[in-house]
Amino acid sequence: MNQNHGERLKPLASGVVVGSFYRPPVIIGLAAAIIVAGLVVQAHPSGAQRKEKAPKSVEPASGNPENGKRLFLKDGCYECHGSAAQGGGYNGPRLAPDPPPLEFILSYVRKPTGEMPPYTAKVISDKDLTDIYAFLKSAPPPDPKSMPALNK
């Protein structure tokens, strides 16, 4: 019998001993990389997997732009984003005529990361946000002639 059998169980500076087997760091690194890659694939599914998870949001085409404009003004969105969603006011970004995707708007309004206050579904429903989104999609850019800074 080999006198150095007990030596195999001692951890070396470059590896790890698991049970009675020595695992070199390369194998452990590969195993960790495979596990991390699996987690990344689950977090960011491929196109085939995305088809299985349909978004639960309402289609933008189903929104009512007239009601959206009324809500945009009534709920005070204009105070930061401007009356035509052109941006300005208190540094609210321009939203019209090319707003971010509806899914982004729905999630950001609920949990904003900037200075915007959150709006719960009790304050404004997803349907109302979809109407506002329809307004943002239909809002024409402001006429340059109506801007004093451009007409000097």
Domain assignment present for residue 20? The answer is yes
Per-residue pLDDT tens over the stretch 51-70: 444 444 444 458 999 999 99
Instruction: Find the domain containing 111 and state its range.
Output: 60-141
CATH number, domain of 101, equals 1.10.760.10
What's the pLDDT band for 106 if we cut at 50, 70, 90?
very high
* Least confident range of 10-24, 36-50, 82-96: 36-50
More confident call, 61 vs 100: 100
Least confident of 3-7, 17-21, 51-55, 95-99: 51-55
The average pLDDT across 65-87 equals: 91
Global pTM value: 0.55
Above 60 in pLDDT, residue 131? Answer: yes
114, 64: one domain: yes
The answer as to whether 150 is a domain residue is no
Is the same domain home to 69 and 134? yes
Between CA 21 and CA 9 the distance in angstroms is 7
Q: What confidence score (pLDDT) does residue 62 get? A: 80
152 part of a folded domain: no
Mean pLDDT of 16-38: 53
Q: How many domains does the chain have?
A: 2
pLDDT the model gives residue 129: 96
In terms of C-beta distances under 8 Å and separation of at least 24 residues, what long-range contacts does 64-68 make, across chains too?
Answer: 64/131, 64/134, 65/131, 65/134, 65/135, 65/137, 65/138, 65/139, 66/135, 67/128, 67/131, 67/135, 68/128, 68/130, 68/131, 68/132, 68/133, 68/134, 68/135, 68/136
The answer to whether residue 111 is domain-embedded is yes
- Give the span between the Cα atoms of 123 and 51, in whole angstroms: 31
Where does the pLDDT of residue 87 fall: very low under 50, low under 70, confident under 90, or very high at 90 and above? confident
Do 48 and 79 share a domain, yes or no? Answer: no
Percent of the chain at pLDDT > 90 equals 34
Residue 151 lies in a domain: no
Q: Does the residue 37 lie in any domain?
A: yes
Asked if residue 148 belongs to a domain, the reply is no
Domain identity same for 36 and 70: no
For residue 149, being part of any structural domain is answered with no
